[in-house]
Each structure stands twice: as C-alpha cells, then as structure tokens.
Amino acid sequence: MNAIEIKNLTKTFGQKIAVDGLNMTVPVGAIYGFIGENGSGKSTTEKLICGLLVPDGGEIKLFGRDYTDQDVRAKIGVLIEQPGCFPNMSVWNNMMLQATNLSIKNPEEEVRKVLKIVRMEGSASNKFKNCSLGMKQRIGIAFALLGEPALLILDEPINGLDADGMRIMREVLVDITKNYNCTVLISSHILGELEKIASHYGIIRDGEMIKQMTAEELDKNCPTYVALKSKNMAQTKMLLEKKYSRIKEENEYLRVYDDVKAEEIVNYLYKNNIFVTEIKTDKISLEEYYIDLMKEAK
C-alpha cells in the first residue's frame, strides 16, 4: 500500500510551470526524502498534496483513495510554513489552543503525548518566543502530529538547525515512523542529514521527478573507491591512468573507482617510486550522487 501515489501532476503559476507531469510513490512506513534545488517545485508539490493548492492536472491518491476524500484528509499532518503560534504564550497554551481548534477529544492528554514525541515535554512552560529554532520546528511537528496522522508532510524542517537540533530532529522523525505508524514526506536540500534517516528518495528538477529510489538502491548506485594522496600527484595520476580505467581527481585526492584493493595500488605505485602518503576506501555520498545526477540531466 502506498501512502502517496501521484501521477502526472501539473501546476502552473501564470507562465511558470512549477510542477510538470510529476510522478511520485511513497510507500506506507517510509521516510521519503524529497530532494531538489530551490525553485524546483518541492513546496508546490507538498501544497498540492495537502489541498492548499489546486492542481491543473494529474492524479493524487493517498492511502489508495482520492486526496479530496475527507476521511483521508483527516489523516494528514502538515508543516509547510512556521506554525502559527502566539509568541508571548507558553508552548503548552499554544498547543492547547490548537488542539481545541481542531476539536481534539482529550486535548490535555494528546498535547502531552505529542510534546513528548518531539522531546518538548520539559519545555512546555517556555514562552514560544524564547524557544530556539530547533524547538520551534519541533513544535511545528507537534502541531502536525495532533489528531494521530498517518502521513506527515514536512517542508524543509531541518533548514537552519545546528548539529544538536539536527540530531534531535532525526531521532524524532525515526521515532514517529517506527513507533507511531506514521509515514513521513520530508523535503530538504541538506543531503548529508537526509541520508542518515531516509528510506526512500525522490529527486525533483524543474518540476519533474527525475529519480526515485530506495536507500538500498542508492547504496548500490553509490560506488566505493580508493582515495589517495602522494607527494607527486601529477606523476601518480599518470601512473594510475596507465593501469586503471576510472580515475578522478576530487578534493585534492586521486580516486580509483576500479574494483581493486588499496594495498595493490600502494604496491604498484611503490614499484614505480611513488610513496603514498594517505589512502582510504570510501563510498560516494548522496550529495555527490545528486550532483553527478544533476550534471547528467543538464
């Protein structure tokens, strides 16, 4: 079963085609990392899914039903812009107000529960205006979690967070999917962070989905390589190119993508009077994969 199934979605603003025949499949239980440059159509797609914008064409299904279906709409939690909070009110009172607006049955219990999920139970008496950006983002997620959603749609929730804020956010999102049976769609361009949590990826460019894959597929698509440094990089490069077929210079290292062991390369270079000063085996990251993919697509 898919939480989101989108076919051929289109949205234009005047002359601008923001979403251009987009397809997307988000399985239930996924943390789906939605990746793309600024202006590529991520927010527009998310607003279309939530019903905040009306599409020009295409189909959106949520949990197998049309996205306009009221029962299905009730299962969606959204954080697209900052939560509408009163700065001088406490976190608790802001949450209670929202829970009341949403006619949540046991508001106190529910607010306590969602604040616990976002690791804010100890800060409920803080005024909203005194909360850090990371806390504010998590309050936004707490808002979205009211009413026990089955799908959370989060637009760039890790933008601007410091390392600690990122770590907590990561824990919260994993917790939500694992323990609360919630599927998460999260847009971001901070690929290093996304890579630590996403189970699925979708890459959008100019309103089109150019690639969807699982974390396992990404792993397979990201080759390992041997990276090395020596005192004479120019000669090393020449020697490597004689023997191996896939050599690349990257961040002051020479990389060999051929299926070969590090020791073998060291020996080969040593025999040719080159001393390797540094060597490591590594794997290309989501970020590098993405950059290469963007280059190909152009």
Ligand X SMILES: Nc1ncnc2c1ncn2[C@@H]1O[C@H](COP(=O)(O)OP(=O)(O)O)[C@@H](O)[C@H]1O
The residues that touch ligand X, with contacts defined as CB under 6 A, are 13, 16, 18, 36, 38-44
Report how far apart, in Å, the C-alpha atoms of 149 and of each of 12, 66, 101, 152 are.
Answer: 29, 17, 16, 7
What's the sign of the alpha-carbon dihedral 152, 155, 156, 162?
negative
Residue 132 CB, shortest distance to ligand X, in Å, is 24
Using CB atoms within 10 Å of the CB of residue 293, give its burial: 0 to 12 exposed, 13 to 18 middle, 19+ buried: middle
Per the DSSP assignment, residues forming a β-bridge with 265 are none
Name the segment binding Mg ion (CB under 5 A); options: 41-49, 70-78, 176-184, 279-287: 41-49
Most distant CA atoms of the chain, gap in Å: 76
Residue 71 CB, shortest distance to ligand X, in Å, is 27
Of the candidates 228, 189, 211, 192, the one whose C-alpha atom is nearest the C-alpha of residue 43 is 189
Give 35 or 173: the residue with its C-beta nearer to ligand X: 35
Report d(CA 79, CA 34) in Å as an integer: 14
44 lines the binding site for Mg ion (CB under 5 A): no
Residue 32 CB, shortest distance to Mg ion, in Å, is 16
Give 17 or 262: the residue with its C-beta nearer to ligand X: 17
Give 18 or 141: the residue with its C-beta nearer to ligand X: 18
Give 46 or 110: the residue with its C-beta nearer to ligand X: 46
Q: Which of the choices Mg ion, ligand X, none does residue 13 contact, using the CB cut-off of 5 to 8 A by kind?
A: ligand X
Residue 204 CB, shortest distance to ligand X, in Å, is 7
Residue 15 CB, shortest distance to ligand X, in Å, is 10
Residue 203 CB, shortest distance to ligand X, in Å, is 11
Task: Tell me if 2 sits within 8 A of 61, measured CB to CB.
Answer: yes
Residue 286 CB, shortest distance to ligand X, in Å, is 17
Name the segment binding Mg ion (CB under 5 A); options: 36-44, 107-115, 123-131, 177-185: 36-44
The answer for residues whose C-beta is within 8 angstroms of residue 199's C-beta and 6 or more apart is 29, 30, 31, 32, 214, 215
Q: Which of the choices ligand X, Mg ion, none does residue 129 contact, using the CB cut-off of 5 to 8 A by kind?
A: none
One of 34, 36, 43, 183 touching Mg ion (CB under 5 A)? 43
Using CB atoms within 10 Å of the CB of residue 270, give its burial: 0 to 12 exposed, 13 to 18 middle, 19+ buried: exposed
Residue 93: CB atoms within 10 Å: 17
98 lines the binding site for Mg ion (CB under 5 A): no
Of the candidates 159, 191, 185, 170, the one whose C-alpha atom is nearest the C-alpha of residue 293 is 191
Residue type, 274: I
Report d(CA 230, CA 148) in Å as an integer: 57
Give 76 or 91: the residue with its C-beta nearer to Mg ion: 76
Name the segment binding Mg ion (CB under 5 A); options: 42-50, 161-169, 211-219, 272-280: 42-50
Q: Which of the choices ligand X, Mg ion, none does residue 177 contact, using the CB cut-off of 5 to 8 A by kind?
A: none
188 lines the binding site for Mg ion (CB under 5 A): no
Chain residues that interact with Mg ion, rule: CB under 5 A: 42-43
